[in-house]
Structure 1
Amino acid sequence: MKIGQQFHIIVVVKGKAFVIEGRFLVERVRALELKKYHEIVMRIPLFEVDLGQAVYHGSYFHLFEIARDSFFRSLDFPYSQLMREGYHLTIAQLACAYFHPLRYDQLIQIRTSVKELKNRTLTMIQQIWYESTIYTQAEFIMVCVDFQGKVSLIPEKLRQVLSEWMAHS
Structure 2
Amino acid sequence: MTRLTEHSMEIRVRYSETDAMAFLHHATFFVYFEMGRTELFRAAGGSYRRMEERGLFFVVTHIECDYKTPGRYDDLLTLTTRISRMSFAKLEHTYEVTRQGTLVAKGKSVLACLDRKGEVQRLSEELLYETPSAEGDA
Q: What band does the TM-score fall into relative to the shorter chain?
A: 0.7 to 0.9
Looking at structure 1, the residues matched to 86 and 127 of structure 2 have their Cα atoms a distance apart, in angstroms, of 10
Output aligned runs, 1:67-82, within 5 Å.
Answer: 67-82=36-51
Segments of 5+ residues of structure 1 without an aligned counterpart are 1-35, 162-169
Q: How far, CA to CA, are the matches of 2:12 and 2:127 in structure 1? A: 30
Instruction: Report what 2:116 is aligned to.
Output: 147
- The alignment covers a number of residue pairs equal to 126
Normalised by the size of structure 1, how large is the TM-score?
0.69
Counterpart of 2:134? none
More moved, 80-89 vs 135-144: 80-89
Pair 1:45 & 2:14 matched: yes
Deviations 1:45-82 (A, max 9, x none): 11111112111111111111111111111011122122
Q: Give the Cα–Cα distance (whole angstroms) in 1 for the partners of residues 89 and 23 of structure 2.
A: 36
Opposite residue 37 of structure 2, the aligned amino acid is R
- Residue pairs, 1:1-169, within 5 angstroms: 37-158=6-127
Deviation of 1:152 after TM superposition, in Å, equals 1.4
Q: How far apart are 1:110 and its partner, in Å?
A: 0.4
Q: 4+ runs of 1 displaced by more than 3 Å?
A: 158-161
RCO comparison, higher one (Cα < 8 Å, 6+): 2
Which consecutive residues of structure 2, in runs of 5 or more, have no partner in the other structure?
A: 131-138
Residue type of the alignment partner of 2:56? Y
Larger Rg: 1
